[in-house]
Amino acid sequence: MSARVGFFILLVSFVLLGVTKVCDAGLLSKNFYQKSCSQAEKLVRDITRNKTQTDSTLGAKLLRVHYHDCFVKGCDASILLDRVGTNQSEKEARPNLSLSGFEVIDDIKSQIEKVCPGVVSCADILALAARDSVSFPFKEPVWDVLTGRRDGRISLASEANGNLPSPFSDFNTLKQLFARKNLTVNDLVALSGAHTIGVAHCGAFSRRLFNFTGKGDTDPSINATYAESLKKQCPNPANPNTTVAMDPQSSLSFDTQYFTTLNQNKGLFQSDAALLTDRVSAKIVKQLQVPKDFFSEFGKSMKKMGAMEVLTGNAGEIRKNCRIVN
């Protein structure tokens, strides 16, 4: 499931009585730190909420960091590591250059280390903070986060490109990539709902507007009025500093508007529009316009994603500083 050189790890995971076991490495569970650091999850929640109060975009930022972490080498906080020597780390890979929010994880880790040194992993902090930042407006968790992850020691930019979904991907490419992660089409559509918050740089979609088939044309699948609006915001050539809301109706509100907008052919990315090109995924897009259905399915898919290729038991380490290995 990961494009690693020289070896392949087959993950077998199952859910039993609320506990997820990943390979033979150990367990992810609810309240993993109850005995070793009982205040850990509250500290993450309180600090994250304080940060979110002053930065309404934090949910989108941390959710994206968590997503990009899990899709490359699993949810092991490898995305947080800085470069060592001449080897570029994951965060230096092109798809990750626009990621932000790392300093929030640093702050949380620093505060937790003062109370429970060497106990709580950066991988768990990232998973919890992503959930808590998105959940802030709701005053309750949007999804459950199991804990017990340990931190990876390797972070290579070269492993990012083949594992991260591209905004230019067609449906079959997306389906195959998610299948390699043991994620279904339902997971693909539900997790795409995260595009209801956050912004994107013009370069991620400008080809759809100005040169879709290499002939100076516009993607015919995009709503014409929406396309003209985007062209005004992102004239050609694309300004690398300009950003556009991924959900033009409610980019700061975690809701089902993304699916409503997508059904109006106003998906920002080619990968968004691709969800309407398959009969099964298009049906799911319509179903997830119902808030109850979306929040339920999104929660299930986040729980699955958060358990991908995790290191547990004696694997990996508990970093003292999320940016460097011990």
Known catalytic residues are: 68
Question: How far does Cα 72 stand from its chain's mean position?
Answer: 11
Neighbours of 312 (CB within 10 A): 24
Annotated binding site: 69, 72, 74, 76, 78, 90, 165, 195-196, 247, 255
Query: Could you tell me if 85 and 156 are in contact, meaning their C-beta atoms sit under 8 angstroms apart?
Result: no
d(CA 163, CA 166): 9
Annotated binding site for heme b: 195
Sign, CA dihedral 19-32-23-158, equals: positive
Beta-bridge partners for 311 = 150
Residue type, 254: F
282, with CB counted inside 10 A (0-12, 13-18, 19+), is middle
Query: Could you tell me if 71 and 181 are in contact, meaning their C-beta atoms sit under 8 angstroms apart?
Result: yes
